[in-house]
Amino acid sequence: MMKIEPLPAWSLLTRSGVAGLLARPDGGPPPAIRLGPNLDAISAAEMPLLATLRLMIAHAQANSGLTLTAKRALSRADTRALFDNLV
């Protein structure tokens, strides 16, 4: 029997969907993504995890995706690009 592996959610995003994630003027997440019950968009945008995620999405968009290893980990080149852009 063939084993079916689930696709990562990010692989289902279209180019316009990715652009929509980055297009928020306040830098926060889209309204459909809720990070906490009382967290406003500006506070969310200042969270290190969200800032890093935005960097990764922007890098993926600029490079037509991210490169994964045979074991489905993020490549060293893409990881290095993220570290180089962290403040």
Residue whose structure tokens are 């890098």: 59
For 29-50, what is each residue's pLDDT tens digit? 676 666 777 777 777 777 777 7
**Rounded to two decimals, what is the model's pTM?**
0.59
Q: Is residue 72 left, alpha or beta, with left meaning phi > 0 and alpha meaning psi from -120 to 50?
A: left
How does residue 24 score in pLDDT terms, banded at 50, 70 and 90? confident
Q: Is the pLDDT of residue 56 over 80?
A: yes
Alpha-carbon span 51 to 27, nearest angstrom: 8
For 67-82, what is each residue's pLDDT tens digit? 888 887 888 988 888 8
Q: Is the pLDDT of residue 63 over 70?
A: yes
